[in-house]
Amino acid sequence: MAKVPDLTSEIKEFGIRMGAETIGAAPVERFAPAPQGFKPEDLLPGARSVVAFTVPQLAGYCENVPCNSYTQFGYIFKNLYIDRIAWEIARFLDDRGYWALPYCREGQTTTQVEGVNPNPFVERKYRDKEKAPRIKVALRGDISMRKAAEAAGLGRIGVNGLLITPEMGPRQRIGLCITTAELEPTPLITEDVCNHCLNCVEACPGGAITENGPEEFDPVKCIKTVQRWTSSYEDSLKNFLSRRQNAWDDETRLRRDAKFVVYNLIVGTGLCGSGCINTCPIGKRTIR
Ligand code: SF4
Ligand code: SF4
């Protein structure tokens, strides 16, 4: 099937109109390094392209974690917003005769921390379950959204393991739509976007990030820190608060501590201070 350049630009314009900040297309060949069972074709038979888009995170809540706004607008509302855009893009493609799978990051994430783990989504397609790919995983999604966005020319993975875009640094969330349409590939960004300042390494209270970059990023340390899975959380809390001590008077700090504890009990979102995002100088805006 021939590439459809008009369809590609139509989808990009449509995605931006729907609320995406940036949008690009990756041919499935760019996912060749992904492990078996985690490629676009594993999720949608006959897939030819992946549409990836970003939606910004705002500095107002990113740099003010933990706060209700971060949970609501950084996760709950943001995820639904992304789902809506992915759904509309999928409908757009479906209306034109292509199969399209809006990718939902929640609920398809393999949360088994260690071990040889079947990908449950892929396993369903195998009559003989023993033949389904079994892969050693650690908090791996069915498809890497960060790598998909990189493959769609939206940015590059930084030292912190996150997608770093020229426009927003790490301050975005990502949406995907996998399709059988053969779209015009968006050119890759070939130079590093991360400047290797190592602010994120220093700011991570869980020690999840190392100066050696994303290959050494430890998602288990990250999630344990964010969700208070170990006693080292207490140290993380102390570190986080001590970093803030110069900025606030006692009363403000007291209120903050109380909010911190309540937050931890309820959701655990942003409890580490999200230093991997808010200390990154790329795309950082100054307060006006
Ligand atoms: S979310 Fe927190 S614990 Fe995880 S990498 Fe970022 S700063 Fe570290
Ligand atoms: S904080 Fe510095 S090293 Fe870390 S991702 Fe951003 S630019 Fe790269």
Q: What is the 3-state secondary structure (H, E, C) of 10-78?
A: HHHHHHHHHCCCEEEEEEHHHHCCCCCCCCHHHHCCCCCEEEEEEEECCHHHHCCCCCHHHHHHHHHHH
Q: 160 CA to middle of ligand 2, Å?
A: 6
**How confident is the model at residue 41, as a pLDDT?**
93
Alpha helix segments (H runs only) across the chain:
5-18, 40-43, 59-62, 68-71, 77-95, 120-123, 145-151, 199-203, 219-226, 232-244, 250-266, 275-278
Residue 184 near residue 6, CB atoms below 8 Å: no
Does residue 96 carry a pLDDT above 60? yes
**How confident is the model at residue 211, as a pLDDT?**
95
Q: 15-51: per-residue pLDDT in tens?
A: 999 999 999 999 999 999 988 878 999 889 999 999 9
Does residue 237 carry a pLDDT above 80? no
Residue 51 near residue 89, CB atoms below 8 Å: yes
Highest mean pLDDT among 54-63, 181-190, 251-260: 181-190
Residue 241 near residue 253, CB atoms below 8 Å: yes
Q: Is it true that the peptide bond before 66 is cis, omega within 30 degrees of 0?
A: yes
- 195 CA: nearest ligand 2 atom: 7
Indicate which residue's Cα is closest to atom 8 of ligand 2.
194
Measured CA to CA, the distance from residue 86 to residue 63 in angstroms comes to 27
Best substitution site from 139, 225, 236, 243 to test ligand 1's pocket, by max atoms within 8 Å of Cβ?
225
Measured CA to CA, the distance from residue 201 to residue 25 in angstroms comes to 31
Does residue 87 carry a pLDDT above 70? yes
State what percent of residues in the chain have pLDDT above 90.
Answer: 49
Q: 139-160: per-residue pLDDT in tens?
A: 567 788 999 999 999 999 999 9
Indicate which residue's Cα is closest to atom 8 of ligand 1.
204
Indicate which residue's Cα is closest to atom 3 of ligand 1.
222
- The answer to whether the CB of 62 is under 6 A from ligand 1 is no
Mean pLDDT of the chain: 80
Measured CA to CA, the distance from residue 175 to residue 100 in angstroms comes to 13
Q: Which ligand is in closest contact with the Cα of 195?
A: 2
**How confident is the model at residue 23, as a pLDDT?**
98
